Structures are given as structure tokens and as C-alpha cells.
Amino acid sequence: MAHTADNIYYVPHTAKWPLIGSVGLTLLLGGFAAYLNGAAVGANLMWAGLAVMVVMLFGWFGTVVGESESGTYQSWEDKSFRIGMAWFIFSEVMFFAAFFGALFYARSLSVPWLLGEGSGATTHQFLWSAYTEFWPTNGPEDWGDSDFHMGWWPLPFINTVILLTSGLTVTWAHHGIKDGKRGPFILGLFLTVALGFLFVFLQAVEYKEAYHEGLKLTSGIYGSTFFMLTGFHGLHVTLGAIMLTVMLFRAIRGHFTPERHFAFEAAAWYWHFVDVVWLGLFLFVYIL
């Protein structure tokens, strides 16, 4: 074990940000729900909640960054953060697993059943006997009235190259801080952030093209799985890029040492996670 009985684990005395976070979260989600139900006040509540959440995140992380820079945390506390971040990323993996599961279920089970495979023969015959479209499909009632689907060339392929490259630059930055070279650290971070936002931009271009061609969120099960999977991924890329941007500003301010830079590592782990999810997307959503 890394510690001895004489070490004192740091336990903060009070925390005011969690309650503020709960208020913000409730305003944000309750407002969104009211908005979905058509209540005029909903959108206002939602934006107010978002503002509270942003303040909360700055306040909470600001406190932790201050404690970290003043040397409050030793390797013992550091390990708790590592465990926490690792299992948080695992929970994110499982969130994506639900949507990948929906994609696999639709492609290999429910759509074939609608087409009459297995025990679906009578369903097919009596419900939608004219339905013959395998995958990609917008369903037997031709939802959204468009059969356009997104190929892997050129934008998705370019985005794959961009994300893989950003995985290299963030590793280069990591080696920089480990060797105590702040130049490569900052440059590597900057390149990673730039590539990340470039990815998000190109994803937006791709969405625009899709909508132009008639592929929408409402285009049946293909549109649903395509936009929900790539959309949630894009959201996570954005979050990861914001995290890395914070790390970039902290790096410029002189934060982090060759031995102690877990905040950066956590953001880098998160970045590799969105990278891996993208590879799954590229394979199962675009190529296959």
C-alpha cells in the first residue's frame, strides 16, 4: 500500500457548490421539461439553470484547482481522483453502449423481422408486405421521405484522421510535461484543442449536408441512430475540447509539474475515450 497509517487524508470541511449545482440542474432540466410541454417560461428557466451550472462548475473546479496548486493533495488523494475519473469514463462507455445496442438490435434483429425473417413472416405479410428496404432504412412507412445515407468518404474519414492525430498530439503534450518541457506541452495542447474544435466544425458541416439531402433525425431508425450516436459523440468531443482548453489556459499560467498534473491526464483520458468511441462509430455507423 502506498501510504502508512500516519498519513492524514485530506477531507474538506464544507462544500457549498453541490447544493448550488442541484438548484442549477433542477432549473435546467425542469425548465427543459416545461419547454418541451410548451410552457413559455420553460426556456428562461433552462437558460438560468445553465448559467447556474456554469458558475457552479467554475466555482467548484476553481476551489479544487486552488487546493491542488497550494499542495493540499498528495499522492494518496491523487489516487482517489484517478479512480473516480476512470470509473466515470466507464459509466460514459455504458451510456454509449445503450445506443450502440439499439443500432445493433435494429440492424440485426428488428428490421429483418419487419422484412419477414424468422418468426416475422406474418408480421411482414399482413402489416407491411411492400416493405423491402434492409439497411439503411427509414422504416416501412418511409419516415422523413428520404433514403439518403451518410457514406464514410470524405468527411467522416477526414474526421477520423483528425481525431487520431489529436490523440497523438495530446500524448506528445503529456510527454512534454513529464519531461518538464513546457513548450511542447503547451503546443501539443493547443494543437489538440484546435483539432478537436475542427472536428466539431466538420461534423456540423456534415449535418448540414445531411439535412440538405433530406437525412434528418426524423428519418426513421437510420436517422435516429445516426444522429443520436454521432450527436452524443459530438457533444462529448465538445466537452473534452472544453476540458483541454481549460488545461491549456492552466498550462500557460504555469500550472502543473512533471510529477503532478492529474487534471491534464484526466482530460487526456477523456479525450482518448471519445477517440475510441469515434472508431466504433466510424466502423459501425459509416462503413458497415
Partner 1 sequence: MNAYTGTADEHLDHDHGDHHGPAPGYLRWVTTTNHKDIGTLYLWFSLLMFFIGGAMALIIRAELFQPGLQIVDPHFFNQMTTMHALVMIFGVVMPAFVGLANWMLPMMVGAPDMALPRMNNWSFWILPFAFALMLATLFMEGGGPAAGWTLYPPLSLQGGDSLPFVIFSIHMLGASSIMGAINIIATIMNLRAPGMTYMKMPLFVWTWFITAYLLIAVMPVLAGAVTMLLTDAFFGTSFFNAAGGGDPVMFQHIFWFFGHPEVYILILPAFGLVSEIIPTFSRKPLFGYTSMVYATSSIAFLSFIVWAHHMFTVGMPLVGELFFMFTTMLIAVPTGVKVFNWVSTMWRGAMTFETPMLFALGFVVMFTIGGFSGLMLAMTPIDFQYHDTYFVVAHFHYVLVPGAVFGIIAGVYYWLPKWTGHHYNETLGKWHFWLSTVFVNLLFFPMHFVGLAGMPRRIPDYAVQFADFNAIATLGAFGFGFAQILLLVAVVQSILGGAKATGQVWDGTEITGGLEWTLSSPPPYHSFSPQPVVK
Return d(Cα 194, Cα 166) in angstroms, integer.
9
Task: Select from 43, 54, 62, 110 the one that contacts partner 1 (CB under 8 A).
Answer: 110
Our finding on whether 207 is near partner 1 (CB under 8 A) is no
Q: Considering only residues 229-288, where is the footprint of partner 1 by CB under 8 A?
A: none
Whichever of 36 and 204 has its CB closer to partner 1, that residue is: 36
Whichever of 31 and 156 has its CB closer to partner 1, that residue is: 31
Distances (CA, A) of 174 to 168, 198, 257, 259, 265: 10, 21, 11, 11, 8
Q: Is 150 helix (H, G, I), strand (E, B) or coil?
A: coil
Stretch that binds partner 1, among 19-27, 147-155, 156-164, 238-246 (CB under 8 A): 19-27
Return d(Cα 42, Cα 36) in angstroms, integer.
8
Our finding on whether 166 is near partner 1 (CB under 8 A) is no
Whichever of 72 and 179 has its CB closer to partner 1, that residue is: 72
Please, what is the minimum distance in Å from the beta carbon of residue 35 to partner 1?
9
42-68 burial string, b = 16+ CB within 10 Å, else e?
Answer: beebbeebbebbeebeeebeeebbeeb
Return d(Cα 220, Cα 126) in angstroms, integer.
21
Return d(Cα 225, Cα 202) in angstroms, integer.
19
Task: Select from 207, 222, 271, 286 the one that contacts partner 1 (CB under 8 A).
Answer: 222
Our finding on whether 95 is near partner 1 (CB under 8 A) is yes
Task: Select from 70, 71, 98, 254 the one that contacts partner 1 (CB under 8 A).
Answer: 98
DSSP state for residue 259 in the 8-state scheme: S
Our finding on whether 72 is near partner 1 (CB under 8 A) is no
Stretch that binds partner 1, among 85-93, 186-194, 244-252, 278-286 (CB under 8 A): 85-93
Task: Select from 50, 194, 217, 242 the one that contacts partner 1 (CB under 8 A).
Answer: 217
Sign of the Cα torsion 194, 196, 199, 201 reads: negative
Whichever of 6 and 183 has its CB closer to partner 1, that residue is: 6
Task: Select from 45, 68, 137, 266 the one that contacts partner 1 (CB under 8 A).
Answer: 137
Return d(Cα 10, Cα 83) in angstroms, integer.
16
Task: Select from 54, 83, 164, 235 the one that contacts partner 1 (CB under 8 A).
Answer: 83
Our finding on whether 132 is near partner 1 (CB under 8 A) is no
Containing 19, the helix (H) or strand (E) segment is helix 17-36
